[in-house]
Structures are given as C-alpha cells and as structure tokens.
Amino acid sequence: MTLIASDTRRIVIGLGQTGYACARYLSAKGADFAVVDTREKPPLAAQFYREFPQVELRCGELDADFLSQATELVLSPGVAKSSPAIQFALQHGVRVIGDIDLFCREIDAPIVAITGSNAKSTVTTLVGEMAKAAGVKVAVGGNIGTPVLDLLANDPADLYVLELSSFQLETTHELRAQAATVLNISPDHMDRYPDLQSYYLAKHRIYRGCRNAIINRDDALTAPLVSQGMKTISFGLSAPDLGQFGMAEHEGSTWLFKGLFPLMPVAELKVSGAHNVANVLAALALGESAGLPMQAMLQAVRAFSGLKHRCQWVADKQGVSFINDSKGTNVGATLAAIQGLGLMLEAQQKLLVILGGVGKEQQFTELKAPLAEHARAVILIGKDADQIASDLEGLTVIRASSLDNAIELSLEHAVAGDTVLLSPACASFDMFSGYEDRGDQFIKIVEALS
C-alpha cells in the first residue's frame, strides 16, 4: 500500500460493513482518523472498540464542528451527503470521498464498473465469471459481496469488477474505469433523492474518466451526456450496428450478435427472459472492452445460470420449466420478470405465476395486463392472497394452501412448454424466514419432482 500523507486528518462516517472496511484500511496504513456513526449503539461498536482501542468513535447525532476539523471525510454509502453536518464541513473546505476513491488510489489494474437500477449484481457476477474462464486473475466486489478495500487484503488482481450503487458514486471522483456502464435507469431510492434527475446524475458519475462507456440503446437515460475522450458501445435487444451488441435471426433462430457476426443461439442461455439476454449482452460488451477473449466469455455465458433467487432456472420437469425469482419482493421486480420471460415464450407457451406473501400495502393492479398476456394462471399463497385476488379480478386465479400445493397446482394447469415462475411480488415473512428460505424451499420441492 502507498503511504498516506501524515498531515491529513480523516473521519470515517458510518460504522457499517463499508465503514468498518475503511477503518481497517486506514489503521493498516497508520493513518490519523476517527469514526462517527449516527446511531447511539452501532451493531459493530463492541467489535470496533476491541480491534481499534486507540481510535476515537463518536456515536449519535453528527457534530458539524467536529467534522469540519477534518481534511477529508470518508462517507459510507448509507449516510446521505445532504446531511446538514456534512454540508457544513463541505462549506468549510473539507473534502468528501468514499471507499471507492481510497481503493482507486491503491491499485494499478483496470476496473470494470457497473451500476443501474436493476441487474447490477447479475452483470457484475457474469463479468467476473468471464474473466475466470479467460484465466484472468479477477477480484469482484463493491456493492456486491466484498467491500472494495477488503479486496486489497489479497494479492493484487489483474482485473477488478465492481458493482457500484448510486450512493457510492456520489462520493467517487477517481474511478477512471477501463469500462463502465449504467445498465438502466428507473425511479429508485426516491427517499434519498429529491427527484429522478438527482438520482440519474449520481449514477452517471460512473462514466467520469472512463475509457469505454457501455450504454443500453433501449434506455436513452443510460447514455453519457458528454462522451468526449471515451469510446461508446451499445447493447440492446435489436439487431446491432457494426461493433455493437444485440440479437437477430440467424439460421432459423434468434442469436446473440456483435455487429454482423453471430455469437451463439439465445436458446443456449441458461438464464431466462429478455431482460437476462440484455444482461448477457452488456457483460459481453464490458468484458471485450476489458480485453477478455470472446470464446472464453461465451463459455462463461453458456455455464451461467444466473444469481440464486433472481430469475434462476431450477429444472425442467414433466416438460415444464421452473424459475425461482423469490427475490421478486415487490411489484416492480415481478413485473420485470413476467415481461422479460413473456417476451421469450413461443406463441403457444404460457407462464404459471406464483404470487403472494406480505404485500406491504402495495397495489397489484399493475400486474394485471402482463399476466393477462403471458400467464395461463396465477397461483396465490400467503397472507395477502385476498387483496391480490381482488386486484387481479378477471384472471384465472387459484388459491394454494402452501408452496408445495402451489407447485402441485401449477403443474396441474400447465401444458408442455410452459414455465412456472415463483416471483411473489411480496415479502416472505408470513410463511418463511426470508426470500432466500422461500427460494430454497421452492428449489427443494421442484428438484424432488419426478
């Protein structure tokens, strides 16, 4: 690690996983720092006192005067930069950075940086798998899995693949990625941002200083406003122009393409749905921009079955496919799954969709039109089944007494070629310990089918 200037006083704000990683990093560097947390009793406080007895930890309301004594604040993603105490420090000349900038100061290897409202983790994981297939020493982290500074505890990697949230990007100035993407933009975290424009601007900080900007040509909000000095490569579900990524007909079926060159049939993908085809195309564009060979990337694509509980293919049983999207805990996520899978079905094929659980006072009427188009039946489980049935009045709706029973009823109403989709649009705590437990039970039940 490079030396840290001794005349710089840092204050880490937030003692969650990221803040703790910052503390470990700064301590290892012999840096002068303190830590503050807005909670009176942060869960990691006892561990922190044991590991860093010499470091000051202040808990409770942020002290503007104390923060303004620092030369640099290291802000955790969970703490809003708009906090009055932080704004006071900024007005007094204090720099505000995040863990990503600390990380970027330490490494020389290229970075692939990924953000977006949806699918960040899927694309980040897939690019990591592509690098492994190519024999490249890769490290994957950020907003997924390992905090970036903890990646430095291992031997240096030849490539870093980072998932970055809008919160992390707010305090990122020094990224300069080899390849960067905003996969998609839709309203999210509107409790943190005053409007969509503010959220959009935070996401677009990922393009600062990047060499290759990977944009979604099906979402105009992903294109950088200023592309000077960077190459722009697009992906999308249409036939691509030269050098771009997309899909088109070839030899009687739909293939992934780069420009005029067919890469592989869409039918060979283990991941399901048009949204996942777009994710694969984005990963291919990112990987190629980072110098990964195409054949190794396609090998990884063929092996990739998606992230667990996120439109995860489970098995084909009795001529019917089973998809686990237990992570679909709200209407928006389930809507994306239904539309994405529905677009890939043949004319005679339909979905059997398992919905239900704790509805969190949502309205489910937005699901009615896509279900009417793509679903043969809806099978309801859980606490708020009555409300969902009311919101979906007019569709074929079947009540189930348990997840076991829902799978059984799905098979009874399915025909060969159909897909059973668990995407509940609800929280799981009425019947399960969490969405992971719900998805794991779904997998277990399906795999036990004959």
pLDDT digits (tens, 9 = 90+) for 54-63: 999 999 999 9
β pairing state of 212-216 and 9-13: unpaired
**If one looks up domain 9-97 in CATH, what number appears?**
3.40.50.720
Residue 6 is predicted with a pLDDT of 53
Residue 167 is predicted with a pLDDT of 93
Residue 346: CB atoms within 10 A of its CB come to 7
Model pLDDT for residues 187-222, shown as the tens digit of each residue: 667 678 888 899 999 999 999 999 999 999 999 999
Model pLDDT for residues 390-421, shown as the tens digit of each residue: 999 999 999 999 999 999 999 999 999 999 99
Residue 266: CB atoms within 10 A of its CB come to 16
pLDDT at 355 > cutoff 60: yes
Residue 393 is predicted with a pLDDT of 97
Model pLDDT for residues 229-278, shown as the tens digit of each residue: 899 999 999 999 999 999 999 999 999 999 999 999 999 998 888 889 99
Greater pLDDT, 225 or 138: 138
- Mean model confidence pLDDT for the chain: 94
Closest by alpha carbon to 283, among 326, 218, 333, 233?
A: 233
**Counting beta carbons within 10 angstroms of the beta carbon of residue 93, is it exposed (0 to 12), middle (13 to 18) or buried (19 or more)?**
exposed
Q: Answer for the pair 120, 144: CB distance below 8 angstroms, yes or no.
A: yes
Greater pLDDT, 353 or 121: 353
pLDDT at 134 > cutoff 60: yes
- What's the CA gap between 89 and 140, in Å, rounded? 33
**Residue 392: which residues within 8 A CB-CB, separation 6 or more?**
364, 365, 367, 368, 371, 378
Residue 190 is predicted with a pLDDT of 67
- What's the CA gap between 244 and 101, in Å, rounded? 31
For residue 141, what are the CA distances in angstroms to 128, 161, 401?
10, 7, 40
pLDDT at 2 > cutoff 50: no
Using pLDDT thresholds of 50, 70 and 90, give the confidence band for residue 3.
very low
Q: What are phi and psi of 94, to 5 degrees?
A: -80, 135
pLDDT at 365 > cutoff 60: yes
List the beta strands (DSSP E) in 46-120.
57-59, 72-75, 95-97, 111-115
Greater pLDDT, 319 or 186: 319
Q: Please spell the DSSP secondary structure of 237-280, one letter per residue.
A: SSPP-TT-EEEEEETTEEEEEETTEEEEEGGG-SS-SHHHHHHH
Residue 187 is predicted with a pLDDT of 65
Percent of all residues in the chain with a pLDDT value above 70, rounded to a whole number: 98
Residue 344 is predicted with a pLDDT of 83
Percent of all residues in the chain with a pLDDT value above 90, rounded to a whole number: 84
pLDDT at 338 > cutoff 80: yes
Residue 346 is predicted with a pLDDT of 86
Model pLDDT for residues 167-185, shown as the tens digit of each residue: 999 999 999 999 999 999 8
Q: HSE (CB half, 13 Å, CA atoms) of 41?
A: 0
Topology of the domain covering 312-447: Protein-Tyrosine Phosphatase; Chain A (3.90.190)
pLDDT at 14 > cutoff 70: yes
- What's the CA gap between 121 and 23, in Å, rounded? 25
Residue 61: CB atoms within 10 A of its CB come to 11
Which amino acids are annotated catalytic? 120, 143, 189
The tokens for 111 are 């970075």
Closest by alpha carbon to 210, among 189, 195, 231?
A: 231
Q: Answer for the pair 99, 148: CB distance below 8 angstroms, yes or no.
A: yes
pLDDT at 1 > cutoff 90: no
Q: What are the residue ranges spanned by the domains of the chain?
A: 9-97, 102-303, 312-447
Residue 7 is predicted with a pLDDT of 65
pLDDT at 226 > cutoff 60: yes
**Average pLDDT of the segment spanning 104-112:** 97
- What's the CA gap between 229 and 246, in Å, rounded? 24
pLDDT at 313 > cutoff 80: yes
**Average pLDDT of the segment spanning 316-326:** 95
Superfamily of domain 102-303 in the CATH hierarchy = Mur-like, catalytic domain (3.40.1190.10)
Give this prediction's pTM.
0.83
pLDDT at 130 > cutoff 50: yes
